[in-house]
DNA sequence: AGTTTCTTCTCTCAATAGCAAACATGAAAT
DNA sequence: ATTTCATGTTTGCTATTGAGAGAAGAAACT
């Protein structure tokens, strides 16, 4: 193994583990700790990691995953939990749609180890994230690039979605409300998401709890035809009743595990 | 065994093994290590591999596998010069096609200040690079994401290109050769580029001088229908004759614009 | 707190392996 | 005959690595 490959492996490990330990890396790669320290020095100089006593952590804002894009910090924890739940629902061999949301990006990160996935998305970020997986079939809808975002929208994206059919779609939204269902702030996004719903056998809405009871500008869909809502914690009794009444499963972390 | 066969063998090995070792290759091909190093030099200049201490690793998709490697190390200077020349050819209000090459990415970087551009591309990197400009109309072709790259290819990309027409297309290739014209290493890429040529009023081929005289696997196009070649320095008399004979303008630094 | 103890870090040194540049050779092309 | 190209060889130079000593940090104890 070349030094360059070792450093690359360290970076990959850091992406997943968030922190690495010098002594463990030394054992793993069968080199001296000194060598590992020098690797970390180099990576630190290049801005990818921050060294700490005993190891290193991934550099916030490191250009690894999203070199060009500002990371969105809003509700990261909730979105991570939702993404974990979504990842559990995805099986080897599935065909999927992911929309252009930060939750979708988290889902993409968490399912990279799965096999034989076919995936269709209108998110540039998801595509970039998955550009290094092998053995998948990854499709982009195409379409217009929405200003200051990484989403492809418009008639071309919509037409593309009419031509495919998938097992499961994971979609997020800006608000969900008892009377009007799921809504989004942009009509163009809502239109694309309607096509995604139509193209999938099972539709999962990823909605963190801050969006419950919110009604946004553009309606995406009522409750009919939606299979499940994924959220980061058990919703109120009121919302549970609404979900039951509309025959929607509500998926949230069950107690017992940490996180 | 000819040198070119040996280099092809090295490339094939690299695609499977991910990394090659100078000393092993020297034994395998029964040549000196120096010869292997020169082979790797050449392959690196052409952008296929990234040399490292003791050997080399594949460069295709190296941006992802080896994020911190200067993947655009290969002929950056030439590509930057070519991109500058291309940027001078692009006017406010133009409609453009950019392909999925590193030169295209450089061009995108250099034209961000222009106004009212309409741009169609099959490159995720170009889209990401331009995701923060405002007032443009940016379109993605859609299509299949080629493994370990940031290019969208396949029938969907090709069909999309049939539905649009632009003023200028900037396309790169792996080789240009007197008899067979422009060629690329992948058939899927070549097919997309053919559609790009058909979709543009003016077609510019960005070809750094290391690619002159090279013939790659998949033919893209002959000289007919190509308006200009952009390269980083004045080509040989022989190549100038070829360009004149085929009615192709050759654009290079210092007074090439008006040929 | 202060001290001890253990770990980890930094720095220097030396050994090895790999590298680049210059030059030489021989074959093929012009 | 000359040029060009691929190749090999030689010769210093550099990169990578590990070892060891002392400094610095963390943790555990009185």
Burial B192-229 (b: 16+ CB within 10 A, else e): bbbbbbebbeebbbbbbbbbbeeebebbbbebeebbbb
CA distance B227 to B217: 23
Q: Which residue of B has its CA nearest to A140?
A: B142
Distance, CA of A35 to C1' of C14, in Å: 16
Residues of chain B numbered 110-139 and touching chain A (CB < 8 Å): 124, 127-134, 137-139
Q: Are B120 and B100 contacting, i.e. CB atoms less than 8 angstroms apart? A: no
- The pLDDT score that the predictor gives to residue B257 is 36
Tens digits of per-residue pLDDT, B61-88? 444 343 433 343 456 667 888 999 999 9
Query: Per-residue pLDDT tens for B180-220?
Result: 899 887 889 999 999 999 999 999 999 988 788 877 778 89
Residue B192 forms contact with A (CB below 8 Å): no
Cβ-defined contact of B68 to A43 (cutoff 8 Å): yes
CB A35 under 7 Å to nucleic chain D: yes
Which numeric CATH code is attached to A3-58?
1.10.10.10
Distance from CA(A23) to C1'(D22), angstroms, rounded = 20
For B155, name the nearest residue in chain A, comparing CA atoms only.
A139
Start-end ranges of CATH 1.10.10.10 in chain A? 3-58
**pLDDT of amino acid B46:** 72
CA nearest to B86, candidates B178, B175, B206: B206
Could you check: is the Cβ of residue A46 within 7 Å of any atom of nucleic acid strand D?
no
> Does A55 reach chain B within 8 Å, measured CB to CB?
no
Distance from CA of A254 to the nearest CA of B (A): 36
In this prediction, residue A49 carries a pLDDT of 86
pTM listed for this prediction = 0.70
Which nucleotides of strand D come closer than 7 angstroms to any CB of the protein? 5-10, 15-20, 25-26
Strands (E), B59-117: 95-98
Q: Contact at 8 Å (CB) between A166 and A118?
A: yes
Min Cα distance B108 → chain A (Å) is: 13
DSSP state of B237: H
Residues paired with A235 in a beta bridge: none
Nearest nucleotide, C1' to the C-alpha of B40?
A: C19
Residue with tokens 């996935």: A117
- The Cα A62–Cα A14 span in angstroms is 11
Whole-Å CA distances, B148 to A62, A188, B58, B187 = 21, 30, 11, 16
pLDDT at A87: 95
Spatial CB neighbours of B12, under 8 Å, sequence gap ≥ 6: none
Contact (CB<8Å) A160/B142: yes
Per-residue pLDDT of chain A (259 residues; tens, 9 = 90+): 888 889 888 888 887 777 899 999 999 899 999 999 999 998 888 778 889 999 998 876 444 333 222 233 456 678 888 999 999 999 999 999 999 998 999 999 899 889 999 999 999 999 998 987 888 999 999 999 998 789 999 999 999 999 999 999 999 999 999 999 999 989 999 999 999 999 999 999 999 888 999 888 899 999 999 999 999 989 999 999 999 999 999 999 875 443 3
d(C-alpha A237, C-alpha B21), whole Å? 64
Cβ separation B64–A131 shorter than 8 A: yes
Is any Cβ of chain A less than 8 angstroms from the Cβ of B67? yes
Q: How far is B135 from chain A (nearest CA, A)?
A: 8
CA of B75 to C1' of C19 (A): 21
Identify the pLDDT of residue A176: 94
Residues of chain A with Cβ-Cβ distance to B49 below 8 Å are none
What does the pLDDT read at residue B8? 84
d(C-alpha A49, C-alpha B68), whole Å = 11
Nearest CA in chain A to B157: A142
> Strands A249-251 and B19-21, how do they pair?
unpaired
**Delimiting residues of CATH 1.10.10.10 domain(s) in chain B:** 3-73
Contact A145 B131 (CB under 8 A): yes
pLDDT for A60 equals 62
Q: What is the pLDDT of residue B79?
A: 82
Segments of chain B scoring below 50 in pLDDT = 61-73, 255-259
Between CA A82 and CA B241 the distance in angstroms is 63
| Class in CATH terms, A76-251 | alpha beta
CA B245 to chain centre: 24
Closest chain A residue to B120 measured between Cα atoms? A144
* Environment class of A134 (CB within 10 Å of its CB; exposed 0-12, middle 13-18, buried 19+): exposed
- Ranges for all domains in chain A classified under CATH 3.40.50.1360: 76-251
Q: State the pLDDT at residue B3.
A: 82
CATH architecture entry for B3-73: Orthogonal Bundle (1.10)
């Amino acid at each position: 193994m070349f030094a360059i490959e070792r450093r690359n492996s360290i970076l990959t490990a850091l992406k997943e583990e968030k922190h690495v330990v010098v002594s463990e890396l030394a054992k793993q790669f069968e080199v001296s700790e000194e060598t590992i320290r020098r690797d970390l020095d180099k990576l630190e100089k290049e801005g990818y990691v921050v060294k700490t006593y005993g190891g290193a952590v991934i550099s916030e804002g490191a250009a690894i995953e999203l070199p060009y894009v500002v990371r969105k910090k809003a509700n990261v924890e909730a979105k991570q939990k939702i993404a974990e739940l979504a990842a559990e629902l995805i099986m080897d061999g599935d065909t999927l749609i992911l929309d252009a949301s930060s939750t979708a990006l988290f889902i993409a990160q968490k399912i990279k180890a799965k096999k034989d996935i076919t995936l269709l998305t209108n998110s540039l970020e998801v595509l970039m994230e998955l550009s290094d997986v092998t053995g998948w079939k990854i499709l982009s809808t195409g379409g217009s690039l929405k200003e200051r975002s990484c989403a492809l929208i418009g008639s071309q994206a919509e037409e593309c979605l009419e031509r495919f059919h998938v097992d499961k779609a994971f979609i997020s939204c800006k608000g969900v409300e008892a009377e009007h269902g799921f809504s989004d702030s942009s009509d163009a996004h809502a239109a694309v998401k309607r096509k995604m719903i139509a193209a999938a056998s099972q539709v999962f809405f990823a909605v963190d709890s801050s969006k419950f009871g919110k009604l946004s500008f553009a309606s995406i869909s009522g409750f009919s035809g939606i299979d499940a809502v994924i959220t980061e914690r058990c919703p109120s009794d009121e919302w549970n009743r609404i979900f039951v009444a509309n025959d929607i499963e509500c998926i949230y972390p069950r107690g017992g595990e940490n996180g």
